Structure 1
Amino acid sequence: MEDELAQELTKAECRDICAQLSHSPFLDPNRISCVNYERPLGDGAYCVTLRAELEGVGQIALRVVKSENAKEVYKELKQNVSIRGTTVETYGVTVVKWRGTTWRVAQVMEICEMGNMDDFIAQRPSLSLRSRVGILRAALRKLSDLKRSRVVWRDLKGQNMLVRRQDGEDDVDFVFCDWGFAVRLNENEKRRMTLGGPGTEGYIAPETKTPDYQFSCDMWAFLVWACSICVDLAKTGAGELEHEIAKLKLNTRYSSSRKAEEAKVKKVLRQKFLEAGLVREDCRGLFELLSSDECPWTQPELRWTAEEAHAIISQRFGFGERARVECLSPSSCLKTLKIAESGKENASLGSKPPGGATRRVTRTRSRKALGALQNGV
């Protein structure tokens, strides 16, 4: 591997950077050994991830910052998003010598032996619909956890989900990683984005061109990713669906109306994938749901929340598990939710506040009642 690391830093300069990362304790570099420089676990724009050993822990992933100017990486290391069961565990930060001369800041974190989710699924073409649905539902629960912590991820994709282990075909444990674009919203606060919007093309929600955004931008990325794992990779290349969505350029300054954009998205999904026979036969029902009018995409105020998506997918494809969600009459255009869109509620999926009564937040929506809740298993 070529030495792509940028300007050299002294050890003292690296230690000074580590001292600024208040949420990450500094680890003695002498505790790091057996660093495998020749076969990186991953190589991104700002970091290269290597396999190593940490005294007292065992094998770990060493995420080495490529440049002292990689502000997004330092911001990520400062992010306090270590939600149990959701994010990769970070043991701390340290300094490492690169090629024996250059000192670099490194993040020390748990190693996920099974790799990222996209590769995990691609290498297992026989992975059942039950497992794929289970993965989607688990991701939605983790998104709900992030929302309760008021974290907007802005970089959801299969490559940023690391698989810890596979205890069985129907038991896939994974965590989220890469928080360079994540932000934490204050209560009732919205955040501005640049017109281009951070993230990966195709996964960037259309509203990133507007003055503000909230948690719903992660749900756009979820829908793209959910559709992508329904595609038959034996018939199309990896990332093809994301590429086709990106070609629509929905996040440009002078994009068309949301209604017209919705039609464009659904046309691509149906014509270029469903009707073209590029969707796995066992995933056809799931893909039909995600590409149907029941599933709003381009209008963030109508887009499913993580809680709604979990309930709908569970009820339609939960293999007998009943989703705990209630809906008013279709004519009312109202919906009762257990967790508010703002992420302000502290309840978990299906939980109840003290006193036994389920707390509900009522939101007005200008869409028809979700047919999926009326036609569930």
Structure 2
Amino acid sequence: MAAKTDGAPPLAVSLPAIAPLAVSLGDPAGVGPELFAQAWADRREAGLAPFFAVGGAQVLVAAARSRGIDLPIARIAAPAEAAAVFDSAFPVLGDEDAQPSFGQPDGDGAALALHSLTRAAALALSGEAGAIVTGPIAKSKLAEIGFVQPGQTEFLADACGVPHTDAVMMLAGPNLRTVPLTVHVALSAVPALLTRELIERKARIVAAALARDFGLSPARIAITGLNPHAGEDGRMGREEIDTIAPSIAALAGEGLAVTGPHPADALFAAHEREKFDVALCMYHDQALIPIKTLDFDAGVNVTLGLPIVRTSPDHGTAFGIAGKGVASAGATIAALRMAGDCASRRLLTEKTA
């Protein structure tokens, strides 16, 4: 099967240059800083667009050292300076920092993580940064210093003035893209949350984002069922009949390339994955189990529906292996590459609109 890579078809024209990407470090006690350092070390082979970190210079140097990387740092006063120094040093904007403490998150590290996220988001919104790539955070530590959102996606939605429900999480890898329609809720709560309005609204956001940022128009959207075998004509539940199928019919009537409800147990086989560009799934594990099985070390969390491009590696802080030099940088490199590609494609779309 052909790999989807970033999921976009090849373009007949070159993508335009973008402003450097802003990196928010995530929790400095986790693997985020060392993986961004590794990504910079692999920048040429990976073909990455210039990026810079917001704060954390000494954290980055220590994290790089844990992987055997001698990381040169270039202090920059503005994002525009990053491109000129990127080839020879890792650009860092701002003096905010913390003491390296691999695997031991603390309040100072959480403060650096929140500062880095806040400023990086502002730079992306102002256009000074081409996109934002977020490192993994420890939500419990951030909550101790006043972080009130459930996660970074909701934080960025608030920063952008977008309702949380319109900030859609898509997981994307070389082989698959999935969107969970419900995310961090108990499985028992899912049936009541699945409404026609939810399915149709999120499907429209996904279709628009895949056209704008991935060059997929019309995007082929496969919508799963909720129940085993997609309900088997009502014998295993009526959600497919009463809610999901009517939503698909309405979306198809609007011109969207939607199909389903598909039984989720068969949808992700190799020969089936060639038939769609993204799968809209009813709940968290229905979407994340297949993407993490197929693309664990290359999975990217992309937030759709925002006025800025945001990506993140699809893994957590991994405190248990932080500073040991064993964490894979694959997902971080993929997130940086996807952010650059999506930002360039979005800019091209805006210029040709």
Structure with bigger RCO (C-alpha 8 Å, 6+ apart): 2
TM-score for the superposition, normalised by structure 1: 0.25
* Structure number having the greater helix percentage: 2
Report the structure number with the largest CA radius of gyration: 1
